[in-house]
Amino acid sequence: MNACLRQLAALCGLSLRELFRRKDVWVVLALGLLILAPLAELKPYGIGGASRHLHEIALLLIWVASAFIAIGVAGRQFPPEFEHRTIHPMLAKPASRTTLLVGKYLGAWSASALATGSFYLLYGLFAGVKMDLWFPPVFIQAFVLHVGFLTVVTAFSMLGSFCVTPAANLTVSGIVVGGMFAFGEHLEEMTAGHPAPIRALAWLADAIAPHVEFFDLRRRVIHEWGPVGADVAAAVMLYAVVYAVACLAITGWLFRRRTC
């Protein structure tokens, strides 16, 4: 048991080190600073006090950056190991395929969550200093649900890395996540007047594609609507866990069938 935990911790540590070695986080932070600092000083028509547009831009940057990091980090976990044949020594150690898969997944998830957490922390400090808004409950809830989003997206991208090439996985995962983010809520209404095959496809997408729009509390944060009820938040987190476990189960099955 201890050996298994040590192996998981080592795999997580590897993912974290890889994330910070690649400098993605620093680029995002610098970009955010470059965009937000001048905007914070902007007083249109000499009227100050507007803050919602800053919240909107900051949260959009956080969402785009975290999705990009999560898909990238999770999608990069296995393909290089197969390509460089380093998967053999890893499996030759007393580490099962399940441990390796769970360790890699937890590594990708924790690296994405840590990067997103650091974005939220900096954004929270910025909002506190600039707008005197110190970490309201809806902000905390938005972060928690965002971690749920990462749970789903990392599992989905890891599954994709076993199905298609790394570049195709990055593209397909990006399109699916972006598409569901934009249209996931309205799939049924959008295809209502279309022929049956299109409606069937929409129904299938509605049933199996990751409903990442469940985790988006930006509007509530920006426009001060307050947090959602605990039952809704719990249902969304349960969805995230079930979806991630389902993706990992399929990934595990593909991994076991794959000849290294």
Partner 1 sequence: MLIPMRASIQSVAATLTLAAAALALGQALPFVFGGRMPRVVGSSLLDQLLGDARLAVSESLILKADEYYHGGVRVDGCTHADHDHEHDHDHEHEQEQEADSGAHADSDPDSEGGHDHEAGASHAERRRHHPWRWINAHIHISEHRHLASNRSQELMPWYWAAARVDPGNLDAWLLAADAINHDLGNPAEALRILQVGIRHNPGSAELELDAARIQLNSFRDIPAARASLERAHTKWKQARETGKDADGHLKMRILFYLCHLAKQRDDTAVLIRYADEARDLGITGGAYDAILKLAEP
By CB under 8 A, name the binding residues for partner 1. Answer: 42, 44-53, 185, 206, 211, 213-217, 219-220, 222-223, 225, 228-229, 232, 235-236, 239
Nearest to 160 by CA among 172, 149, 152, 151: 172
- Cα torsion 128, 130, 133, 134 to 10°: value is 0
Q: In terms of CB distance, is 47 or 92 closer to partner 1? A: 47
Could you give the CA distance from residue 55 to residue 67 in angstroms, rounded to a whole number? 18
Output 97 or 218, the one with its CB closest to partner 1: 218
Who's near 30: CB < 8 A, 6+ residues apart? none
CB of 36 to partner 1, least distance (A): 13
Q: Which is nearer to partner 1, 29 or 246 (CB)?
A: 246
Which residues are within 8 A (CB) of 121 and not within 5 positions of it... i.e. 6 or more apart?
none
CA 11 to CA 123: how far, in whole Å? 29
Q: How far is the CB of 200 from partner 1 (least distance, A)?
A: 17
How large is the greatest C-alpha to C-alpha distance in the chain, in angstroms? Answer: 67
The C-alpha atoms of residue 109 and residue 35 are separated, in whole angstroms, by 27
Identify which of residues 10 and 242 has a Cβ nearer to partner 1 in the complex.
242
CB of 46 to partner 1, least distance (A): 6
What does DSSP assign to residue 45?
A: G
Q: Which of 107/227 has CB closer to partner 1?
A: 227
Tell me if 249 sits within 8 A of 97, measured CB to CB. Answer: no
DSSP letter, residue 191: T
Q: Which is nearer to partner 1, 128 or 226 (CB)?
A: 226
DSSP-H helix ranges across the chain: 2-21, 24-41, 52-75, 79-83, 87-92, 97-131, 137-163, 166-183, 187-190, 196-208, 218-222, 230-257
Closest approach, Cβ 228 to partner 1, in A, equals 5
Nearer to partner 1, 24 or 185 (CB): 185
| Number of residues in the chain | 260
- Taking the complex as a whole, how short is the minimal distance between the CB of residue 223 and partner 1, in angstroms? 4
- CB of 231 vs partner 1, minimal distance in Å: 9
CB of 206 to partner 1, least distance (A): 7
